Structure 1
């Protein structure tokens, strides 16, 4: 512990204490020296284990004030880039280092004005970073270190062309750091890009930062998804990121929940940056109880003490499940992942959890709360058959005619006469 903190300036040590930190996480300890010494690496650690600070602390200490664009951090989404920028500013200001975000969807002219002030740290999304490099607003040769946050997603079909071009904007030997909970699955792509075999630091098996996370499934009858989600919303203390596989289904559910009076918002790829930011802020400050999203929100978002993640659909891939689950139960806190299933999709979910060595438990919504034991069924009441007038049950199950009182006979006759009169008319 002392060996870790001895590298920190005094104001960082004070900040560490003020935040209540006691021990660095495994990934924070394991990558510190290599990154501080300028080495390139691939870092693999569970979601919610402190990866952002793991690369920020050593790399910010290497940044020299006045050297523009020394450190470039690439993030896989606008939300993640903004979040990383906020954390970076918090620690960089103690070193008098300036930070500029260059995120797609934001005002590019304002970003260019910010770049004129020669910030030492740049944080952005690949498309916007490349755009500003080509416009000579970001000078690639000045960059010494590039971090790939959520590295495996940065190598998907949408981002890979931008990454290739960014890496070849200048003939420079960058220090490269690739971070993700599933970066080990992109090693071949990383080595093809870098033309070298990088050191891999994987703390997945030794890390215990996910010890407070529990995984559940709820059997949901056909066409009852809305009803079950609404019932979850009324559970005491419920707040959840709710994930959908299809954007169209998300929109329909948002309308239905709003109509039912549930405080809900959405975070979708077809929204502009301001709408997405507003929805995220409302969710973080507790104004809304449910934030509906697709996998656009599954990467890197850190929402303090979020109690639940709900999968309306079983995620398509193991990676998707891991990253969605990573939004709750972070850094040892309690968190619950609940997945809606039917008889067919339960098999898919069990396959994913077997691959991730995750214990799965069935959950029930009952009496306005959640429980892991099936509620006892109330005894079914069998209503007696309506007896026909003038008949009586016998012990052998047959019926026999019984005497009808003169009063009842008169009423029956009056009723028949009345019906006959009505038919004549």
Structure 2
């Protein structure tokens, strides 16, 4: 079934003008059960179009001017804003209104906009619950609740907020869970909803592009220098991930001081600073976006060629979501991880858990190379002989 042919004519035109080709497996498999109002747990690799997979069939079930019927929960402000943009773009063709509700934004303005009765709400759990408690969101009108990046929304730190939102909703509503790693939350999903249909497109979805995995041996104190070398490679455009916020801030400050094209996206920034960083990077005014795992979920920048892990990620799930920022919807990409003598074993264990193999990479002559520079090879040989 090619679900695109079943879409409204305006959407079919938008599909073509957006440059989409064949729908991905998760999009094809999600359309019918979501259209029929079933509870669905969708699992698919990052970069395979999960947002449209649930959004298009659910928007078709929303009725104009009948209050807020569709609620989409997201674990971060960035993801909520991105989903909000997509919902607005596709919803306006059907004359549907949407509103994004996130913490850090002016709550009074949000309340004023809610008076226009948007049919679609997108937001972070804290702000959504705040507005429900103050009766600004009429939760009894909700017909469908979606959890995007459900594995994060059902973690212990967020689960209580999520439960309270669901308890405020009517007795009979559709519950939808989507994530690249939703298979890790089966118990929580079954606790919250009955008769959940699992749509698992991990094995058959071929829409993600080819991603190559590399590592570079980088002494801990040389990390900033190697990032600087990458910025001088003409083809470089990518996201750089840190495990610690303090390390991100220190290196961003040094690179910015040298007037290099970098921006930072961090959890301690206000909404305006985050929005500015995303805008500058998406418009390619900056070649490098420095972030933590806050930027590993949901953010969809077109044509990111490189993902760089300055630190070895904590686990294979974190690695997978970071890697998912590149190689999206058929494009190719590369993931490069900095390692040193202390983290080499951690990296080897991580790659085994992730089911990946990585090649060593070198930087010289303003480019990436799979072989060591000849002069360095000779020097290395002399050092070995000297020993």
- TM-score (norm. length: structure 1): 0.86
Q: Is the 8 A contact 2:238 2:305 kept in 1?
A: yes
Q: 1:360 aligns with which of 336, 358, 361?
A: 358
Gaps of at least 5 residues in structure 1 are 383-425
TM-superposed deviation, 1:171: 4.1
Distance 2:62 2:306 in 1: 38
Q: Distance in 1 between matches of 2:374 and 2:115?
A: 68
Aligned partner of 2:294 among 290, 296, 314: 296
Q: Which residue of 2 aligns with 1:91?
A: 90
Residue in 1 aligned with 2:278? Answer: 280
Deviation digits for residues 104-156 of structure 1, max 9, x if unmatched? Answer: 11111111111111111000000000000000111111000011000001122
2:42 matched to which residue of 1?
43
> Does the 8 Å CA contact 2:101/2:121 hold for their aligned counterparts?
yes
SS across alignment from 2:151: helix
Q: Deviations over 1:215-266 (max 9, x none)?
A: 1111112411111111111111212211110001111101111123312121
Spell out, residue by residue over 1:58-107, the C-alpha distance to the aligned partner (whole angstroms, 9 max, x if none). Answer: 00011111121110000110010001010111110110011011111111
Q: Which moved more, 1:373-382 or 1:329-338?
A: 373-382
1:339 matched residue in structure 2: 337
| In structure 2, C-alpha distance between the alignment counterparts of 1:157 and 1:275, rounded to whole Å | 28
Query: Partners of 1:68 and 1:164 in 2: how far apart?
Result: 22
Q: 2:261 aligns with which of 263, 277, 280?
A: 263
Contact persistence 2:39–2:197 (CA under 8 A): yes
Which sections of structure 2, spanning at least 5 residues, go unmatched?
383-387
Tell me which residue corresponds to 1:351.
Answer: 349
Where does residue 79 of structure 2 map in the other structure?
80
The aligned residue for residue 246 of structure 1 is: 244
Counterpart residue number, 1:312 = 310
Matched, 1:207 2:225: no
Q: Secondary structure at the match of 2:276?
A: helix
Task: Provide, for residues 280-313 of structure 1, a one-character-per-residue CA deviation record: whole Å limited to 9, x for no partner.
Answer: 1011111111111111111000001111111100
4+ long deviations beyond 4 Å: 378-382
Deviation at 1:37, TM superposition (A): 0.4
What is the aligned partner in structure 1 of residue 13 from structure 2?
A: 14
Number of the residue aligned with 1:130: 129
- 1:146 pairs with 2:145: yes
Structure 2: how far apart are the matches of 1:250 and 1:19?
34
Instruction: Spell out the pairing of 1:177-256 with structure 2 (5 A cutoff).
Output: 177-194=176-193, 196=194, 198-256=196-254
CA distance in 1, matches of 2:319, 2:220: 22
Find the residue that maps to 1:179 and give its secondary structure.
strand
Aligned to 2:385: none
SS at match of 2:168: coil
Q: 1:325 aligns with which of 313, 323, 326?
A: 323
State the distance in 2 between where 1:327 and 1:122 align: 25
Deviation at 1:6, TM superposition (A): 3.2
Report which structure shows greater RCO (CA 8 Å, sep ≥6).
Answer: 2
TM-score normalised over the length of structure 2? 0.95
Aligned residues of 2:39 and 2:195 also touching (Cα < 8 A)? no
Deviation at 1:5, TM superposition (A): 2.4
The superposition leaves residues 14-58 of structure 1 with CA deviations (integer Å, 9 ceiling, x where unpaired) of 111222322100000011100000001111100000000000110
Deviation at 1:338, TM superposition (A): 0.7
Q: How many Å separate the matches in 2 of 1:71 and 1:314?
A: 38
Task: Give the Cα–Cα distance (whole angstroms) in 2 for the partners of residues 188 and 154 of structure 1.
Answer: 14
| Alignment match, 1:26 | 25
Which residue pairs with 1:369 in the alignment?
367
Q: Name the structure 1 match of 2:119.
A: 120
2:30/2:53 contact within 8 Å kept: yes
Secondary structure in 2 matching 1:377:
helix
Distance in 2 between the 1:281 and 1:138 partners?
30
SS of the residue aligned with 1:262? coil
- Whole-angstrom CA distance in 2 between matches of 1:122 and 1:305: 29
